[in-house]
Amino acid sequence: MNTTKDVVVVGGGLAGLAAAAYLGRAGRSVALVEKAHAPGGRAATQESHGFSLNLGAHALYRGGAAHEVLRELGVRFTGSPPPTSGAFALDGGVLHTMPSGALSLLTTGLFGLAAKLEMSRVLGGLAAANPAPLASVPVSAWLRDTFRTPEVRRFMGMLVRLTTYCADERQSAGAALAQVQQALGHGVLYLDGGWKTLVDGLRGAATAAGVEIITGERAKQVALQGGAVSFVELASGARLHAGAVLIAASPRAAAALAPEVPALAAHAERAIPVHAACLDVALSRLPRPRFRVALGVDRPLYLSLHSDAARLAPPGGAVIHAVQYGPERAGRDAERELDDLLARAQPGYRDVLVERRFLPSLVVSNAVVTAEGGGYAARPGVRVPGLDGLLLAGDWVGPTGMLADASLGSARDAAAALLARRALDRAA
């Protein structure tokens, strides 16, 4: 099979689907190639016995680029923010009431008096803090030099992990602070039906725009000729000729597709993936209904009852996601630690277990936003320098945010860059 398109998109995750939809709506002929048998990537949702389980804990940040792109493409979803009641902080093996306001800050046993006074000042000034001067400062240095009491340093480290999903202290403090500010200022949504609703909506938008979605086919190589894109060769031997190719995949996958491009090899070499160990469970009922959230202060741990805010379970049932951030650096057996945390939050949970899935090292993001190079400034742009018609999108590309915000923001930027190219109109 030899086919000619204006654009070939490689990768059927959120970024690839969104970019393809934008391009198709603009009248371009587009083929999207996805190696799995269905698009979605890490946004896939497993449905079983009436439960919807995302691949680990997912939250959509309100007011960010992802929210904007989904609205622009007409992707409909519903959901709610997680409740603030029933939240606890785990520090030194002890559960404390999570401070969420002035009263809980005064009464929690998490802080001593000096830390309570400092925490009050920190929370009062956090929204107005300027992240820009901290772009090249590692999170570890920011925590050490900015916060006086050890309790506040640990608490702020927990907020960074919670909002960025990253426990690597090489992360840019500026990028981390901006993410914390977005979370505290706008909040997040847990989505009804899971993130499959976004995948289905983006796929529907792309299909309605005339995009040809090819699943179960692996892109083998992006062929270049004379400094420009020529075609995409598939593992089956088929060729998709195109005037432009948009790679919406990991840095290593991008480098493997175009091994002649030094810039892609350099990005792949520098990228530090963000991993998380995830324990996802579905329960027929909650042993302890009022216990909703546990966040590790001295350990990189997270547990949240997602079905309390989103429709993810049948009546009476529950979906809980537990996470150990950075399992390669955490120093403890992830599955055992998460199981212990779950048993502590919901004693007897094994007696009401319907589904249990452990993911030992899920890729949360393809690259830490490191302080080295200046945070977001070190990320590649959507255009590959020196090559006509080769573009990138994904959670490691462009200057916009983290996680889904980066994926969908870069997808929109890459599509806009392609549509601005006159050469695209002359594609065969």
Which DSSP string corresponds to 366-418?
SS--BTTTTGGGGS--SBPTT-BTEEE-STTSSSS-SHHHHHHHHHHHHHHHH
**Separation CA 149–CA 221 (nearest Å):** 53
Task: Decide: 244 and 20 in contact? Cβ < 8 Å.
Answer: no
Confidence at residue 428, expressed as pLDDT on a 0 to 100 scale: 44
Low-confidence ranges of the chain (pLDDT < 70): 1, 102, 422-428
Buried/exposed code over 275-309 (b: 16+ C-beta within 10 A; e: otherwise): bbbbbbbbbeebbeeebbbbbbbbbbbbbbbbbbb
Given the structure tokens 């299909």, which residue do they identify? 207
Handedness of CA 13, 14, 17, 19 (dihedral sign): negative
Domain limits, CATH 3.30.519.10, in the chain: 50-82+274-365
* β-pair type (293-296, 301-305): antiparallel
Output the six-digit token pair for 8.
Answer: 């070939």
Residues of the chain with CATH 3.50.50.60: 2-43+197-271+371-425
Which helix (H) or strand (E) covers residue 356, if one does?
Answer: strand 353-365
What homologous superfamily is domain 2-43+197-271+371-425 in, according to CATH? Answer: FAD/NAD(P)-binding domain (3.50.50.60)
Tell me the average pLDDT of the chain.
95
Instruction: Measure Cα distances from 84 to 167, 300, 307 in Å.
Output: 23, 20, 14
CATH classification of 50-82+274-365, choosing from 3.40.640.10, 2.30.30.90, 3.30.519.10, 3.40.50.1820?
A: 3.30.519.10
Write down the pLDDT at residue 422: 55
Tokens of 376: 């977001």
- Residue 249: CB atoms within 10 A of its CB come to 27
Query: Which helix (H) or strand (E) covers residue 223, if one does?
Result: strand 219-225
Alpha carbon distance 189, 282 (integer Å):
19
Cβ pair 22, 246 in contact under 8 A: no
**Distance of CA 389 to CAs 114, 229, 421, Å?**
58, 6, 8
